[in-house]
Amino acid sequence: MNETCYDSDDNMSRLDAVKQLFDNFATRSMAYNFHHVIGLVKFDSSVKTLHTFTETLETFKEHVHNLEANGCTVLYDALKRGMSQLKQVGEQFPDCRLRIICLTDGNDDGSMTEPDAVTTKLMSLNIVVDAIVVGKVDNNVLRGISNATGGCCFKPETSKAGLKLFEMETVLSLEMRKLKKKLDPSYIRSENILVALFANRGYDEKPEVALPSGLNDKVTGTENALKKKIQESKSGRFLEKDKRLLEELKSLHCDPHPFCTVLPSESDFTFWKILMQGPPDTPYEDGVFELYCQFGADYPVKPPLVRFVTPVYHCNINSVGRICHNIFDRSYNAHITMRDILDAVYGLLIVPEPQDPLDSILAEEYLTSRNKYEEEAKKNTEEVAGQSLDDMEKELLGEELPEKFIPSHLICPLTNKMFVDPVKNQEGTVYERKAIEKHLKRYEHFLLVACQWISNLVNCTCCSDHLRVTRVH
């Protein structure tokens, strides 16, 4: 374990790599507030339990830091030891998810345990094995064990890739992961079958996230959702949480966010889809990003869960859409509105916060190679978020919403939609602010002059808001 580990030029011993990765696992688990109960088993020429199960991750980190390399590695015997300890946990807490995270150089030297036998037992106990190989050895049997139990097998090529691995929520938590289909234990009849499993699947890179079922629900416009909920409130019991949600949606309907469209689920008022247009003059300006918002049973005491569905190249947004902003934790209180939250998320696209990142690699790139960061963010936006807002609305709403009469003076000639943030020029022509700014940007030599003749038109906004209010009463 004292030999160098990664295939690249990283001059790091395997043991130091294991310490670094386990340390990052514990640190990120605490940061994400995951409920992990962890034990630590060391294996070299023998297997030793260094720490029984604990929720105190700082204690776990201390034991990891004290690890020392010593001789050969009885890998499969260690899996058997971990399995026997997890079996006791499973018997006492049947709803607990059971997992072995095996950080290894890939070698097995001297195990008495047969790998196919321990695999079938792991499968029967519903224990998932995730393996992270930090050596240069390719252990196809271990990879087969991971796949057979529904787990993943990773082989990071650099220390940065290893650290990034343990920033992924789907690696840190089984709850966040869409698990692979498990095999029937009777299928594992020999070591050769485990080897063949890897030949069909290979190493894993990023486990698939388990998305909420609400994303499959049909959505509706805010007006229809409000009418339905108001009607329900007149005919039955209406909880305080429902009243607050009604107020939040009504506020966003009557005074819409200029860059966000809210589409509540038809069947679940506590689940919203959100379409967010990228801010002007940012790498995201030509993109439309889908998010979801899930209001838990303890809302508004605790914040709603808001995540991106569309991948975003951003140091404060991770690979499964989690958003790092203090409005979701230390700055949250029950008086924070959904408009406040949308403004905060939108603001993060304008000004990233690299000092408080979810992706440390992207944060470093933002601080040291800003141009490269913005070029990659723009490229990603073009690839995954290039669909227009109109097309995305049509895709989600279909033909559900019939055309309704809107006075012509409240419709922007560029968007053909009711005004949200209208402005006018000196000649009195009225436009939606973001639409005319985008239009003028295409003709930059007119932009300076154009900015001088655009001014706020408050009266038109009031008319638009009044029309929205009357339609839900």
Could you list the active site residues? 324
Helix (H) or strand (E) holding 197: helix 191-201
d(CA 12, CA 3): 8
Instruction: Report which residue type is found at 369.
Output: S
Write the CB contacts of 237 (distance below 8 Å, at least 6 apart in sequence). none
The token pair at 27 is: 């640190």
d(CA 459, CA 464): 9
Helix (H) or strand (E) holding 338: helix 338-350
Q: CB 240: neighbour CB atoms within 10 A?
A: 8
Q: How far is CA 146 from CA 26, 84, 192, 289, 386, in A?
A: 21, 17, 14, 34, 37
Q: How far is CA 443 from CA 248, 278, 437, 438, 448, in A?
A: 38, 20, 10, 9, 10
Q: How far is CA 92 from CA 49, 85, 115, 184, 362, in A?
A: 20, 11, 26, 25, 42
Question: DSSP string of 84-150?
Answer: HHHHHHHHH-TTS-EEEEEEE-S---S--S-HHHHHHHHHHTTEEEEEEE-SS---HHHHHHHHHTT
